[in-house]
Amino acid sequence: MTSDVSSFRAHHPSRVRRSVLTVPAINDRALEKLISLDCDAVIFDLEDSVAENRKGDARTNLLNFLRDRDLGHRERIIRINAADTPFYREDMELVIEAAPDAVLIPKVEEPVAVQNVADMLGESDATEGLRIWAMIETPRGVLNAAAIASSGRTSDSRLDAFVVGLNDLRKATGIPAAPGRTYLVPYLMQVVLAARAYGLDVIDSVSNDFRDMDAFSEECAQGRAMGFDGKMLIHPAQVEPANHHFGPSEAAITEARLVAAAFADPAHAGFNVINIDGRMIERLHAEEAARLLDKVATIAARKDKP
């Protein structure tokens, strides 16, 4: 029997989201540099990185950029301002006009925030297929992560990813920005668990010191071990290590090919559990292997493309 989460994933195909670079929509130089970067996704920010008196300029700048530039494989996400700001409606009008791949809602604390955006997108035929990402970056957001994620199960939902924002969460909780993120790990794992329970991708928070690449690599390794799909980035130098840490390892690829081949063997037809070199492997592992090999194929297909 197919699970609800499997059905959701079939409706929302998995994507490669190892490196998710955020760029201020007002910064022309940063926008132009995107063409040369091997990031999987780009968040065009209209929120925190844009001063209030430049919001209109940022929207115009971003619309012109998206009209004039082909970003190839890079997934395009626009981060809007929150619903309780005077910029929200104009930001949403831009999203509908620009029709990116997804819209990122900041500081999501209740399912209604997702539903309101979904309703606005549903008013235009131009936004068919446009997805919703939700930033979980407040104590209420973490506490309600499961309820927010469950809204992705409705037939009209476009939700397919969480992004963790630790800067606001640290500020709200008083937890310092210490190496290892020790006291933040329980919150991070709670968001990962909620995302996984409802078939969503989940992206780890930014690392603010882009000069300390050793610390960044350690944080990437930690995020990968916790189950994150990728990491939100603030600097081009972070792209390559994020791709490395969140990409499939050679050992994982070899294992996935072995499992896929074993379950494809006609001798194992109808078996849900088989023996591979003394290990009992279930069919669910074959499904995981297939998803990993799909991502490997996607990454490989990009090598000859911009």
Q: Is the pLDDT of residue 202 over 50?
A: yes
What's the chain's average pLDDT? 91
For residues 103 and 78, the answer to whether their CB atoms sit within 8 Å is yes
**Which pTM does this prediction carry?**
0.90
pLDDT of residue 11: 43
DSSP letters, 155-170, are: TT--EEEEEE-HHHHH
Specify burial of residue 240 (Cβ count, 10 A radius: 0-12, 13-18, 19+). Answer: middle
Q: Is 79 annotated as a binding residue?
A: yes
Alpha helical stretches, state H, 155-249:
166-173, 185-197, 213-226, 239-246
What tens digit of pLDDT does each residue of 146-177 get?
999 998 777 577 999 999 999 999 999 999 99
Q: What is the mean pLDDT of residues 211-235?
A: 96
Among candidate residues 79, 77, 95, 17, the one with its CA nearest the CA of residue 47: 79
What long-range pairs does 297-300 form, CB within 8 A, spacing at least 24? 298/15, 298/16, 299/16, 299/247, 299/248
Q: Where are the domains of the chain?
A: 4-246, 250-301
pLDDT digits (tens, 9 = 90+) for 106-151: 999 999 999 999 999 999 988 999 999 999 999 999 999 999 999 8
- 74 annotated to a ligand binding site: no
Check the annotation: does 255 bind a ligand: no
Res. 23: pLDDT tops 90: yes
Residue 276 token pair = 């591979």
Q: Could you report the per-residue pLDDT of 69-78, keeping only the tens digit for each?
A: 999 999 999 9
pLDDT by residue (tens digit) across 71-108?
Answer: 999 999 999 999 999 999 999 999 999 999 999 999 99
Dist. CA 118–CA 114, nearest whole Å: 6
The most distant pair of C-alpha atoms in the chain lies apart, rounded to whole Å, by: 67
Rounded mean pLDDT, 220-234: 97
Q: What is the CATH number of domain 4-246?
A: 3.20.20.60
Structure confidence at residue 14 (pLDDT): 65
